[in-house]
Amino acid sequence: GESVGLHLPTLSVQEGDNSIINCAYSNSASDYFIWYKQESGKGPQFIIDIRSNMDKRQGQRVTVLLNKTVKHLSLQIAATQPGDSAVYFCAENMPRGDQGGKLIFGQGTELSVKP
């Protein structure tokens, strides 16, 4: 029979409120982190990134915070809009010497924005 899928963590917010999506990463040697947004039926789309030598980076309506001590990443979305409804993934880059790195994705969080 068909396996039961995992239920993604879900965050439900009111339109206009701020959203905070959290992510724990696994490898203390990871040197680069990215947040992706995935809408239904589409591929993941780049939102914002941060290198490990930074604690905070701001974009348009989005801010990423990095806490290397506890290996935690967060994405803050200001004034959340219905169009922000999607699944959000964090990804960490695990360096591989001179062979570039490979991105390892987290489980994902589903953001639902209520009008």
Partner 1 sequence: DAGVIQSPRHEVTEMGQEVTLRCKPISGHDYLFWYRQTMMRGLELLIYFNNNVPIDDSGMPEDRFSAKMPNASFSTLKIQPSEPRDSAVYFCASSLAGAYGYTFGSGTRLTVV
Which stretches of the chain bind partner 1, using CB under 8 A?
Answer: 3, 5-6, 32, 34, 41-46, 49, 89, 91, 93, 96, 99-108
Structure tokens belonging to residue 31: 């040197």
Residue 1 Cβ, how far from partner 1 at the closest point, in Å? Answer: 11
Most distant CA pair in the chain, distance: 48
| 84 φ, ψ (degrees, to nearest 5) | -85, -10
- Our CB check for partner 1 shows the closer of 23 and 80 to be 23
Shorter beta-carbon distance to partner 1: residue 80 or 92: 92
Nearer to partner 1, 102 or 114 (CB): 102
CB of 68 to partner 1, least distance (A): 17
Name the residue among 90, 93, 114 with its Cα closest to residue 103: 93
Q: How far is the CB of 110 from partner 1 (least distance, A)?
A: 12
Closer of 1 and 115 to partner 1 (Cβ) = 1
Using CA atoms, how far residue 23 sits from 33, 72, 91, in Å, is 11, 6, 9
C-alpha gyration radius of the chain: 15
